[in-house]
Each structure stands twice: as structure tokens, then as C-alpha cells.
Structure 1
């Protein structure tokens, strides 16, 4: 389960990509930039959630 420490950073990569995508779509007339920003916000939230979960998991394993 050591890979869980590193998979959380994938969410940051996705968040950065969707922020970039949102800024590139900002000047388009269709107005779909908000979806990219929402996905980026979700990805950043998932990064912090997974990091907190990984810390709890490590603390639980250290106590055992």
C-alpha cells in the first residue's frame, strides 16, 4: 500500500491541467470554462482528502 502515498499527487496534476484548460477556454464564446474550473476544484479537494486519509492510514499502522 505504499503507492497510496504517491497517487495523491496525480490529483494535483489533473487540477493544474484543468486550471490551464479553464484559462485557455476563458475567451471562447461557448462559456464552458466553468466546467474545467469545477473539475480542477474537485481534483484539488481530492488531493487534500487523500493526503488526510493516507496520514490516518499511516498513523493507524504505526499504532498496531
Structure 2
């Protein structure tokens, strides 16, 4: 069950990389940020989704014991 607790933070790391990409593009006056913005929003969504799923699975397996 350890990977289920680590994977959501991987999505936060990916979101941070895309947010960094957005900031560097804005500083360089390149306003083509939509793909990075969408990818970072998706990664943040996946963080919360995976975290909720991991808690649900943990509760499910605790109930079986």
C-alpha cells in the first residue's frame, strides 16, 4: 500500500514543474501558456483524486481485517 501514498505527491511535483514553466513563459513575454496551465490543473486534480482513492482503499482493507 506504500505506492498509493507516494504517487499523489508525484502529481504535485509535476504540477510544480508546469507552474514553473508558466512563470518562465510569462517572464519571457511568451503568452502561450495554455497547455502548461491545463496540465498543471490536471496534475493538481489528480493529486486530490489519488489521495482520496488511497484513503478509501485503506479504509476498505482495514474493514476486512
Same-fold call, TM > 0.5? yes
Which is bigger in relative contact order (C-alpha 8 A, separation at least 6)? 2
Distance in structure 2 (CA, Å) of the matches to 1:4 and 1:41: 21
- RMSD of aligned Cα (Å): 0.9
Runs of 4+ residues over 3 Å off in structure 1:
none
The aligned counterpart of 1:47 is 47
Q: TM-score, normalised by structure 1?
A: 0.89
Query: How many corresponding residue pairs?
Result: 62
Structure number having the greater helix percentage: 2
Unaligned 5+ runs, structure 1: none
**Matching of residue 57 in structure 1 with residue 57 in structure 2:** yes
Counterpart CA distance in 1 for 2:23 and 2:38 is: 12
